[in-house]
Amino acid sequence: MTNKKQLSERDICTKFITPALEQAGWDVITQVREEFPLTKGRIIVRGKLHARAKHKRVDYVLLYKPNIPIALIEAKDNNHSVGDGMQQALGYAEMLQVPFVFSSNGDGFLFHNKIASDGIIERELGLHEFPAAETLWQWWAEHRGLDDQQKALVTQDYYSDGSNKTPRYYQLLAINKTIEAIARGQKRILLVMATGTGKTFTAFQIIWRLWKSKASKRILFLADRNILVDQTMTNDFKPFGSAMTKIQKRQANKSYEIYLSLYQAVTGTEEEKNIYKQFSPDFFDLIVIDECHRGSAAADSAWREILEYFSSATQIGLTATPKETKAVSNIDYFGDPIYTYSLRQGIDDGFLAPYKVVRIDLDRDLTGWRPDKGMLDKYRNEIEDRIYNQQDFDKTLVLEQRTQLVAQKITEFLKQTNRFDKAIIFCENIDHAERMRQALVNENADLVAQNSKYVMRITGDNEEGKAELDNFIFPESKYPVIATTSKLMTTGVDAQTCKLIVLDQRIQSMTEFKQIIGRGTRINEDYGKFYFTIIDFKKATELFADPDFDGDPVQIYEPKGDDSPVPPDVPAEEWGVDGFTYPEPGEGQEWTGINEAGQQEEDTGVRRYVVANVEVKVAAERVQYFDANGKLITESLKDYTRKALAKEYASLDDFLLRWSSTEKKQVIIDELSEQGIFFEALADEIGRQSGKAFDPFDLVCHVAWDMPPLTRKERAEQVKKRNYFTQHGEQARRVLEALLDKYADEGVTHIEETQILTIAPFTEFGTPLEIIRAFGGLEQYQQAVHELEDALYLSGRHSRAGGNPSA
């Protein structure tokens, strides 16, 4: 009989929890999901390095039907009590918003019933007493007050492509909450989901379930970009097949069930252009409005007119930015959001890319510029005598040297990171975007000579540029690399590999600001896109101070003078910048909405003075980091590491014991990396100060407990001096000496892997099998490597602890 106390958590699941579920009638294939991933783990950024924090995973999610979660179980091994996993489970249950929560150690279950009607929220159950799926579902349906017809809609199947792929937890919540709201008769629904979190996929599943259940027979999906409608039809909405059509050429064919359209295609100033009036007011049962924010919350906007005409239909608004201005809001129309998944939450969960901010203030932007009396501009126009400031630059006054300096700083950043990282430069207007294109062409003459599309202006008025928009977005397309724009690319451009966003545009609309940031928040691991950088020349990022902003930067950096625009690996206070607090918006500033569809790019015809010979310099630049929990750090990397280590290990002895008893040191290194400790960045920083290369072990002991570090080479030399190898035969001795040299060159994690025996110099000693035989077998070889590691780390500890080897 196996002793239950000796079983792992996984064994407890397999031998006790899963059988209890099967006995209660749960279908293990369709209703039970083990090790269900909730998050991917926040991406933590230090300098040019990144790592993922630990992701959240539930031991069991129980589904009444596929993608309809109703309960979860947190398992522990049998050395824990039955309720030890409950607090952890309740945290997960809050994320997944399920009413029934269980904890188990294999002896039974602790059952937490959030909707208990008898006042007893927690009770213990035997393994044989686990409730059936139908029982839990009936309790839940009764609690929600759902009748049979509503239950049928709420349990309608999702679309499945056969891959058994589950939507992300927040998508499930958005879809299921919307379906339930519609089942209950709610007619106006607002869903708020950050850019890059799969709004269109979420909309597709909502529409699919309503269509299949026949709750909505005719459906209209409205977007405000042709590219968005086309992308939607060929990607997420593809399963609708021949039931779907795009309304175009102002023809209303009434034989379809799913209609996609641009707002602009169904509205017009003249009565006869209003194609939607060819449909009767009760033609559509459901209307979904994608990106229902862009200035369109105004009562006279295009989609408001359509929605009011089809007022009998259920209407769902999708947006990344719920509020527009203090005066007008889409919430006025739809009511409060039934679900919100914010930019901050998306970054915390690891589904969206975090970002650093490099703030560069230019002297003329800060102090302004006044022309001499009677001064003429480049084109012999007399410049009006007044003080010109940041609000004027590139609108009424062009300082050519300012444009050149911005282009120079952008190029400097790309040269120090990667010149083929996609970058979008947001300019004030089309004229500014064109001049910025020219300046960037001159700064990058070598690459432009290889391909003229290295830099392109992509604006609404330019067919050549617009034609390249798809290539800019498409990860496989190398060119264009740098796009200058003004308004065209603020929204709906799914640029997965964009790693640099430059703001040389005054932005005072929170909606537009969030949309612009959204151009960079998608992660693309295949192309090494884990985070992005915003370079801000126009104080646009002061909008972070607005209480409506919901996603903080991972780092803020403000270089000075000729400093590199690339944020360094050491945070602000190390080079004399105090912790920076976000300034409040300036007096008289108001966050205002942008005009219809955010699309007006035409120049106003205002005369611009162009001045060539006014010098412009960088006045200031600055940086801050955000840690693994998204909290602002203004301390040094060393201070942060020291605090993180103190949480993990009570003392130096505690760490030494863990290090020596762990079979593979890589395990400890990985655990600490998840806490946001970057050994490479630490090694760089401490190495810069001492000019030496250190092992993770020495970095930890030095940073956390002020032990003088030994280099890998010094550790290897100490082992050699002690005639350590005499206990082994000649071939084994040569192998261990080579391992010691490898350690000195490359570190401990390399010598722990047996694959090292397949490379030189080990190939000179025989095949991996022959080498392992020289030690008496694999177990003995691994034991010898472990003892070699002990000797390496003992040597340093011994010398520090006054001759006591156990110190």
Judge whether residue 63 has pLDDT over 70: yes
Max avg pLDDT among 447-451, 652-656, 706-710, 712-716:
447-451
Residue 536 bridge partners (DSSP) = 359, 503
Cα torsion angle, 563, 566, 571, 577, sign: positive
**Helix residue ranges per DSSP H, 417-542:** 430-443, 445-450, 463-467, 469-473, 510-517
Peptide linkage before 371 cis (omega within 30 of 0) = no
How many CB atoms neighbour CB 128 within 10 A?
Answer: 10
> How do beta strands 618-622 and 314-319 pair?
unpaired
Judge whether residue 19 has pLDDT over 60: yes
Query: What pLDDT band is residue 586 in, cutting at 50, 70 and 90?
Result: very low
Quick one: pLDDT at residue 239?
Answer: 93
Distance from C-alpha of 52 to C-alpha of 673, rounded to nearest angstrom:
8
**Mean pLDDT over the full length of the chain:** 80
The predicted model gives 111-140 an average pLDDT of 94
Quick one: pLDDT at residue 688?
Answer: 57
> Which residue type is seen at 617?
K
Quick one: pLDDT at residue 687?
Answer: 67
The predicted model gives 675-696 an average pLDDT of 69
Quick one: pLDDT at residue 445?
Answer: 96
For the stretch 497-525, pLDDT in tens is 899 999 998 887 777 777 788 888 889 88
Distance from C-alpha of 231 to C-alpha of 227, rounded to nearest angstrom:
6
Query: What pLDDT band is residue 355 in, cutting at 50, 70 and 90?
Result: confident
Judge whether residue 429 has pLDDT over 70: yes
Quick one: pLDDT at residue 408?
Answer: 93
Query: What pLDDT band is residue 50 in, cutting at 50, 70 and 90?
Result: confident
Quick one: pLDDT at residue 561?
Answer: 64
For the stretch 717-738, pLDDT in tens is 888 877 777 777 788 888 888 8
Q: What would the two tokens of residue 445 be?
A: 């003459």
Query: What pLDDT band is residue 602 in, cutting at 50, 70 and 90?
Result: very low
For the stretch 260-300, pLDDT in tens is 987 766 666 565 457 788 888 999 999 998 877 654 444 44
How many CB atoms neighbour CB 649 within 10 A?
Answer: 18
Name the percent of the chain lying above pLDDT 90: 34
The predicted model gives 29-38 an average pLDDT of 94
Of the candidates 302, 208, 306, 196, the one whose C-alpha atom is nearest the C-alpha of residue 258 is: 208
Quick one: pLDDT at residue 634?
Answer: 43
Query: What pLDDT band is residue 491 in, cutting at 50, 70 and 90?
Result: low
Of the candidates 156, 158, 174, 154, the one whose C-alpha atom is nearest the C-alpha of residue 166 is: 158
The predicted model gives 114-140 an average pLDDT of 94
Quick one: pLDDT at residue 143?
Answer: 94
Higher pLDDT, 235 or 620: 235
Judge whether residue 626 has pLDDT over 90: no
Of the candidates 178, 226, 185, 245, the one whose C-alpha atom is nearest the C-alpha of residue 205 is: 178
3-state secondary structure of 246: strand
| Residue found by looking up tokens 């039931």 in the block | 243
Quick one: pLDDT at residue 591?
Answer: 21
Judge whether residue 754 has pLDDT over 50: yes
Higher pLDDT, 490 or 607: 607
Calculate the CA 786 to chain-centre distance.
Answer: 39
Of the candidates 693, 744, 493, the one whose C-alpha atom is nearest the C-alpha of residue 598 is: 493
The predicted model gives 621-633 an average pLDDT of 50
Query: What pLDDT band is residue 681 in, cutting at 50, 70 and 90?
Result: low
> Within 13 Å, how many C-alpha atoms sit on residue 336's CB side?
2
Quick one: pLDDT at residue 593?
Answer: 24
Quick one: pLDDT at residue 534?
Answer: 86
Query: What pLDDT band is residue 800 in, cutting at 50, 70 and 90?
Result: very low
How many CB atoms neighbour CB 807 within 10 A?
Answer: 14
Calculate the CA 751 to chain-centre distance.
Answer: 34
Distance from C-alpha of 164 to C-alpha of 587, rounded to nearest angstrom:
54
Is there a contact between 220 and 261 (Cβ–Cβ < 8 Å)?
Answer: yes
The predicted model gives 535-540 an average pLDDT of 84
Higher pLDDT, 84 or 521: 84
Higher pLDDT, 164 or 691: 164
The predicted model gives 439-462 an average pLDDT of 92
- Three-class DSSP labels, 118-130: CCCCEEEEEHHHC
For the stretch 542-572, pLDDT in tens is 766 655 666 555 455 566 666 666 655 433 2
Residue 638, φ and ψ in degrees, nearest 5: -65, -45
Quick one: pLDDT at residue 741?
Answer: 87
Which helix (H) or strand (E) covers residue 169, if one does?
A: helix 169-183
> How do beta strands 555-557 and 355-362 pair?
parallel
> Which residue type is seen at 114?
K
Max avg pLDDT among 438-447, 489-498, 619-628, 654-663:
438-447
Burial (CB count within 10 angstroms: exposed 0-12, middle 13-18, buried 19+), residue 226: middle
3-state secondary structure of 8: coil
Quick one: pLDDT at residue 578?
Answer: 25
Higher pLDDT, 589 or 553: 553
Name the percent of the chain lying above pLDDT 70: 80
